[in-house]
Every structure is written in structure tokens, then in C-alpha cells.
Amino acid sequence: MAKKLLIIGGAALLLLGGGGAGLYVSGLLGPQAPVDKQAEEKKQQAAMAAAQPVYLQREPLTAPVMENNRLKQQIMLTLSLEIIGSDARENALKNLPRLRDAMLRDLFTESILRGDGSGAIDLEDLKIRMLQAARSVVGKDKVRNILVVKAVRIG
């Protein structure tokens, strides 16, 4: 009985050893490629930088508040664009005059006040409109959000 177990155990060891040698020779169990930790770290940092937004604060814009076809007051707005990626930031900086023009055209075309007569600024509508203007210049997938940094009434 012990002889049979010894023969079966020896045969199993030979089969396992032969299988392992075959895998090693075929390259499946070859030596591991050296891991370049610095290259991996740089890839991770680049991926994180691409995912993190870049904020581009615009110089103040002035929006008129009209009443009975007369200028009642003005509102000075400071906006910040939440841009995705450094290439989009460069594109936005290159097109600042076009971006300012698109935003001013919108501000001078439609009122930024709520329609309920309260005189309050409709920030949600303003953000949507400014986001559409920014995306039309910079690119739809490049501007994530518009942040209203400051809104000051003048007059």
C-alpha cells in the first residue's frame, strides 16, 4: 500500500514538474518585466491632472437692467469657467475676445432678472446662458460649469 502511494506521489510530482517546465519554456512563466515605478507614477499624475478641472476667472462683465426702455441700473458680474484639461484652458485663453463677445451679447439681449418682478437675479438661468455661450466658443465638452464669483449692483 505504501509502495502504491509512493509511486502515485512520485508520478504526480513528475507531471507537475514537467508541466511547470513546459510553461516556463513556452514563456508563460517567464521572468516578470521590471516595473518602472516612476513611469507609472507619471501616468497616474497625468490622468489625475486631466480629470481635475482648471478654473479660469474672467474679468468683470457688466449687464444692464432695463425698465420701461431705460437703464435702471447695472450689475457687475465676475464669472469663473470650470474647464476640463489644460488644452481647453489654452484654447479659452486664445479666444478670450470671442468668449467675452459671446457673453456680452447674451447679457445685453436678455434680462438677467427673474420674471416675477422681485428684482432678484436669476442665477440658474444666468449660469445656463453663460455656459452655452462659453461652450459655443471653447467647445461643448471642454467647459464643465460656470461659477458666479461676484454679482454687484451699480446704481
- 111 φ, ψ (degrees, to nearest 5): -70, 150
CATH class given for the domain over 53-154: alpha beta
Q: Report the C-alpha gap between 107 and 62 in whole angstroms.
A: 8
CA dihedral of 59, 76, 120, 70, whole degrees rounded to 10: -140
List beta partners, residue 64: 74
- For residue 102, the tally of other CB atoms under 10 A from its CB is 19
H-helix segments, 27-153: 37-51, 86-94, 96-109, 123-138
pLDDT at 30 over 80: no
**pLDDT tens digits along 101-139:** 999 999 999 988 888 878 888 999 999 999 999 999 988
**pLDDT tens digits along 96-107:** 999 999 999 999
Where do the structural domains in the chain lie, given as residue ranges?
A: 2-49, 53-154
| pTM of the model as a whole | 0.64
Q: Report the C-alpha gap between 124 and 154 in whole angstroms.
A: 21
